[in-house]
Amino acid sequence: MPDLTKLAGPLDVGGVRLRNRVFLAPMSGITDEPFRQRAHAHGAGLVVTEMVASGELAKGRAGFNLRIRHSGLPVHMVQLAGREAMHMAEGARIAAGEGADIIDINMGCPAKKVTGGYAGSALMLDLDHALSLIDAVVGAVEVPVTVKMRLGWDEGALNAPMLARRAEQAGVSMVTVHGRTRCQFYQGKADWRAIARVKEAVSIPVVANGDVSSPAEAADILDQSGADAVMIGRAHYGAPWIAGGIAAAATGEATPNMPRDSTAVADYIVAHYEDMLALYGAESGLRQARKHLGWYLDRHAGGVADDSRKAILTAFEPARVIALLRDVFSRDPQPLNLRSAA
């Protein structure tokens, strides 16, 4: 069995105590309030809001308050993205005013619409500018500030250790490193050993991220990187319990609040769907929920007929979507793919 014991212990981040060391990664358009609440209920040690554009937040753009709203969880962590120090500082102040316990700065997003605006991982091309944003955020709030980054822009500029070291000197309390460069996007295999160079460069906690979806992979990434914690993103598609399941495996316990049969899974999905409708309103919530419904069907109802799947993902009446979901899971119960649930 892999050694998972390190993951079970608490972690202190700038005075904020986290219950374990298996985290849900911030994912744009995914880790909204309903998703974070579920991941936390299943035992994730930390959950993070989806990336919030600091400029839009600072300007008071409608809807952005929902992304930073406190959801009642013990630790509220907000991730900000941007390229202007003034906006990053103001965004951090607004988030802290809404109850954020930790502010994370996004320096790792590879999306062209983000890097094209010289934010996200594009900041790793200019560490002096990146540090000006860190200084602005650290100076604006009293809560701990963290940074999420990649290994570098490309293989010729693997400067994550330098960025992490300068970030620590600027007052950052923790860094998370995705084991790919920006130019790799999500291709190939994350380089877990490369994260070790960041761990060697700093004394603050380092979180390893990239290609983890099971207890064995969590143990391996810790072993190869020497990191203090693990952050998991895409493995949560259709399975908000993955981080909690790995944390539970570290203590030999069962994952809390797990659906264990097809009827319970249907109830779970419907509740998630209804929470999204309540948060966003029926029209917007229906659209935003479709990706989640697709992932749930892929993972737990792989044998669903194409016409049933299409009907669920294209219907405009919430009652019909719910009826179709329940029908899929009651008519021909599917074996559940509850990976990392035990």
Distance in Å from the first CA to the final CA of the chain: 14
Partners of 53 in the β-ladder: 81
**Closest residue by Cα to residue 205 from 338, 4, 7:** 7
Name residue, tokens 């909690």.
244
Structure tokens given for 19 = 């219950």
CB 166 within 8 A of CB 133: no
Q: Cβ of 15: how many Cβ atoms within 10 Å? A: 10
Q: Rounded CA gap, 71 and 53, in Å?
A: 19
Q: Among 109, 134, 149, 243, which one carries the catalytic annotation?
A: 109
Query: Which residue in this structure is represented by tokens 């649930």?
Result: 341
Question: Which amino acid is it at 5?
Answer: T
Tokens in use for 279? 């948060």
Residue (of 179, 182, 187, 186) closest to 206 by Cα position: 179
Output the six-digit token pair for 259: 């659906």
> What are the φ and ψ backbone dihedral angles of 30, each rounded to 5 degrees?
-125, -55
The answer to whether 109 is a known catalytic residue is yes
Q: Which helix (H) or strand (E) holds 194?
A: helix 192-201
- Which residue numbers are catalytic? 109
